[in-house]
A and B are shown apart, each in its own frame.
Chain A
Amino acid sequence: MILLAIILAVTAFVFAGFAVWPSARLQPRWLAPSLLAGLASVAGATYFTGAQPQAPGVPYQQAAAERMAANPDALGPAAQMERLRDILRADETDAVAWAQLGRMLARSERELEAINAFQRSLRLELNARTLSDLGQTFINLNDGQVTDEARAAFEEAQRMDPALPEPGFFLGLQAFQSGDIDAAETIWLDLIARLDDRDPYKILISEQVFQLLSQPQVNAGAVEAAAASEDFDPRQRIADMVQRLEARVADGDAGFADHLRLIRVRGMLGDNEGGMDALQAARDRFAESEGAMTILDLLAAALQTDEGQGE
Chain B
Amino acid sequence: MIAETGRFLVALAFALSILQLLSGWRAASIGSAPAMRIAARSAYGALAAAVIAFGLLIILFLQSDFSVAYVAGHSHVDKPLFYKIAAAWGGHEGSMLLWCVMLVGVGAALARFALRQDEQLKNRAVSIQGGLQILFLGFLAFASNPFDRLLDVPLQGADLNPILQDPALAIHPPTLYIGYVGLSAAFSLAVAGLIEGRGGRAIAAALRPWSLFAWTALTAGIALGAWWAYYELGWGGWWFWDPVENASFMPWLVAAALIHSAIATEKSGNFAGWTAFLAIMAFTMSTMGAFLVRSGVLTSVHAFALDPERGLWILGIMTILAGGGLTLFAFRSGRLGHGDGFALTSREAFIGVNNLLLAAVAGTVLFGTLYPLVMTAFGVSGVSVGAAYFNATATPFLAALLILLPIAPFLPWKKDGFSRRLALRSTLWILPGVLAGLWAFLIEASPVAIAAAAFAGWTLAGVATDLWHHRVLQGAAARFSLTGRVLAHAGVVAVALGAVADSTGRPETVRALAEGEQIEIPGFTLTLDGVRRADGPNYLADEARIVVENGRVSELLPQRRYYAAADTTTREVAIRSGLGGDLYVSLGEPRARDSGEIAYEVRVTFNPMVWLLGLGAIMIVLGGTSASIGRALSRRQKERVS
Report A's interface with B, CB cutoff 8 A: 3-4, 7-8, 11-12, 15-16, 18-23, 26, 35, 39-40, 42-47, 49-53, 55-61, 63, 78-79, 82, 89, 110, 112-113, 116, 119, 142, 147-148
Q: Is the CB of B1 within 8 A of A22?
A: no
Chain A residues with CB under 8 Å of B562's CB are: 112
Evaluate contact between A35 and B19: CB separation under 8 angstroms: yes
List B36-53 residues whose CB lies under 8 Å from chain A.
37-38, 41-42, 44-45, 48-49
Contact A18 B41 (CB under 8 A): yes
Q: Tell me how far the C-beta of A80 lies from the nearest C-beta in chain B, rounded to whole angstroms.
A: 10
Minimum distance in angstroms from A50 CB to a CB of chain B: 6
Question: Which residues of A have CB within 8 Å of B148?
Answer: 50
Is B141 touching A46 in the complex (CB atoms < 8 A)? yes
Are A23 and B38 in contact (CB-based, < 8 A)?
yes
Which B residues lie within 8 Å of A53 (CB)? 4
A52–B145 CA distance with the chains assembled, in angstroms = 12
Pairs across A and B, CB under 8 Å, 8 listed: A7-B5, A16-B12, A45-B11, A46-B11, A49-B142, A63-B66, A82-B156, A116-B540
Given contacts A11-B9, A51-B7, contact A58 B1 (CB under 8 A): no
Residues A19 and B38 in contact in the complex (CB < 8 Å), given A43-B12, A49-B141, A57-B3: yes
Which of B41, B68, B155, B540 is in CB contact (< 8 Å) with A79? B155
In the assembled complex, the Cα of A110 lies from the Cα of B567 at a distance in Å of 10
Q: How far is the CA of A119 from the CA of B299 in the complex (A)?
A: 39
B65 touches A59 (CB 8 A): yes
A22 neighbours in B (Cβ, 8 Å): 34, 37-38, 41
A42 touches which of B15, B38, B44, B592 (Cβ 8 Å): B15
Q: Give the contacts of B552-594 with A (CB-CB under 8 A).
A: 562, 564, 592
The count of A-to-B residue pairs whose CB atoms sit within 8 angstroms is 132
In the complex, residue of chain B having the shortest beta-carbon distance to the beta carbon of A12 = B12
- B596 pairs with A148, CB closer than 8 A: yes
* Chain A minimum-CB-distance residue to B145: A50
A188 CB, min distance to chain B CBs, angstroms:
22
B65–A78 touching, CB < 8 Å? no
* Docked-complex contact B67 and A57, CB < 8 angstroms: yes
**Other contacts beyond A7-B1, A22-B37, A113-B540: 16, CB < 8 A:** A4-B4, A11-B12, A19-B16, A20-B41, A21-B41, A22-B34, A42-B11, A46-B14, A51-B8, A53-B4, A57-B67, A59-B63, A60-B64, A60-B65, A61-B63, A112-B564
A79: chain B residues within 8 A (beta carbon)? 155
One of A15, A50, A147 near B49 (C-beta < 8 A): A15
Report whether B65 and A57 are in contact in the complex, using a CB–CB cutoff of 8 Å. yes
Structural contact, B4 and A78, CB atoms closer than 8 A: no
The 9 closest A-B pairs by CB, nearest first: A46-B11, A60-B64, A59-B63, A22-B37, A42-B15, A47-B11, A43-B15, A58-B67, A22-B34
Q: Which residue of chain B lies nearest to A83 when distances are taken between CB atoms in the complex? A: B155
**Cα separation A227 to B112 with both chains bound (whole Å):** 90
For the complex, what is the distance from the CA of A52 to the CA of B66, rounded to whole Å?
14
Q: Are B1 and A116 in contact (CB under 8 A)?
A: no
Within the complex, the shortest CB–CB distance from B453 to chain A, in Å, comes to: 48
Q: A63 contacts which of B11, B49, B153, B540 (Cβ < 8 Å)? A: B153
A56 touches B5 (CB 8 A): no
Is the Cβ of A55 less than 8 Å from the Cβ of B151?
yes
Say yes or no: A47 contacts B7, CB within 8 Å. Answer: yes
CB-CB nearest in chain B for A86 = B77
| Residues in chain A near residue B3, CB distance under 8 A | 57
* Candidate in A12, A16, A58, A119 with the most chain B CB atoms within 10 angstroms: A58
A18 touches B45 (CB 8 A): yes
Chain A residues in 8 Å Cβ range of B564: 110, 112-113
| B206, chain A: closest CB distance, angstroms | 25
Q: Is the CB of B4 within 8 A of A52?
A: yes
List of A residues within 8 angstroms of B540 by Cβ: 112-113, 116
A151 shortest CB reach to chain B, Å: 10
- Asked whether B145 lies within 8 Å of A8 as measured between CB atoms, the reply is no
Question: How long is the Cα–Cα vector from A148 to B64 in the complex, in angstroms?
Answer: 41
* B48 proximity list for chain A (CB < 8 A): 15
Q: Does B263 contact A (CB under 8 A)?
A: no
Residues of A contacting B16 in the complex (Cβ-Cβ under 8 angstroms): 15-16, 19, 39
Min Cβ gap B316→A in Å is 18
Contacts of A59 in B (CB 8 A): 63-65
Question: Is B2 in contact with chain A by the CB < 8 A criterion?
Answer: yes
- Chain A residues whose C-beta falls within 8 Å of the C-beta of B65 in the assembled complex: 57-60
B335 within 8 A of A: no
Name the A residues within 8 Å of B156 (CB-CB).
Answer: 82
Taken together as a complex, chains A and B put the C-alpha atoms of A63 and B154 apart, in Å, by 10
Say whether B15 contacts A20, CB under 8 Å.
no
- A53 closest partner in B (C-beta): B4
Using CB atoms, name the residue of chain B closest to A21.
Answer: B41
A39-B16, A52-B4, A78-B155 as given contacts; A60 in contact with B66, CB under 8 Å: yes
A11-B8, A43-B14 are contacts. A19–B67 as well, Cβ < 8 Å? no
Q: Indicate with 1 or 0, residue by residue over B334-355, a CB within 8 angstroms of chain A CB atoms.
A: 0000000000000000000000
**Measured between alpha carbons, how far is A119 from B532 in the docked complex, in Å?**
13
Task: Let me know if B11 and A44 touch, CB within 8 A.
Answer: yes
Q: B67 touches which one: A11, A20, A56 (CB < 8 A)? A: A56
The answer to whether B15 touches A39, judged by C-beta atoms less than 8 angstroms apart, is yes
B535 at the interface (CB under 8 A from A): yes
Most chain B CB atoms below 10 A, which of A19, A50, A112:
A19
- List, in ascending order, chain B residues with CB within 8 A of A78's CB: 155
CA distance A112 to B567 in the complex (A): 10
State whether the Cβ of B18 lies closer than 8 Å to any Cβ in chain A: yes
Does B603 reach chain A (CB closer than 8 Å)? no
Shortest B541–chain A CB gap in Å is 10
The answer to whether A39 and B34 have CB atoms under 8 Å apart is: no
CB-CB under 8 A from A42, the residues of chain B are: 11, 14-15, 18
**Chain B residues whose C-beta falls within 8 Å of the C-beta of A147 in the assembled complex:** 592, 596
Contact B141 A57 (CB under 8 A): no
Contact of A19 among B2, B5, B19, B63 (CB under 8 A): B19
Closest chain B residue to A145, Cβ basis: B592
B11, A52: Cβ atoms closer than 8 Å? no
Chain A residues near B66 (CB-CB < 8 A): 58, 60, 63
Chain B residue nearest to A57 (CB atoms) is B65
Complex contacts, B63 vs chain A, CB 8 Å = 57, 59-61
- Complex formed: what's the CA distance from A19 to B2 in Å? 24
Q: Which residues of A contact B151 (CB under 8 A)?
A: 52, 55
| Contact call A19/B14, Cβ cutoff below 8 A | no
CB <8 Å contact, B41 and A11: no
Shortest Cβ distance from residue A260 to the other chain B in the assembled complex, whole angstroms: 28
Q: Does B149 contact A (CB under 8 A)?
A: yes
- Chain B residues lying within 8 Å of A56, measured Cβ to Cβ, are 1, 67
Q: Indicate which residue in B11, B64, B68, B149 contacts A43 across the interface (CB closer than 8 Å).
A: B11
A96 → chain B closest CB, angstroms? 20
Residues of B within 8 A of A44 (CB): 11
B contact residues around A3 at 8 Å (CB): 1
Given contacts A55-B151, A63-B153, A113-B564, contact A46 B5 (CB under 8 A): no
Question: Which B residues lie within 8 Å of A51 (CB)?
Answer: 4, 7-8
In the complex the two chains form, what is the Cα distance from A185 to B399 in whole Å?
Answer: 77
Question: Quick check: B19 and A39 within 8 Å, CB to CB?
Answer: yes
Closest CB-CB distance, A306 to chain B, in whole Å? 41
Whole-angstrom distance from the CB of A281 to the nearest CB of chain B?
A: 38
Bound: A118/B594 CA distance, A = 28
Inter-chain CA distance A59–B63, complex, in Å, is 5
Give the residue name and chain of the A residue nearest to B20 (CB). A19
Residues of B within 8 A of A89 (CB): 77-78
Q: When A42-B18, A49-B142, A58-B66 are in contact, do A4 and B5 touch as well, CB less than 8 Å? A: yes
Interface residues as binary, B507-535 with A (CB distance below 8 Å gives 1, 0 otherwise): 00000000000000000000000000101
- B567 and chain A: residue at smallest CB distance: A110
Residue of A whose beta carbon sits closest to that of B34 = A22
The closest CB in chain A to the CB of B72 belongs to: A58
**B12, B49, B148 interface centre (most CB from chain A within 10 Å):** B12
Closest Cβ–Cβ distance, residue B590 to chain A (whole Å):
11
Least Cβ–Cβ distance between B44 and chain A, in angstroms: 8
Instruction: Check B45 against A15 for contact (C-beta < 8 Å).
Output: yes
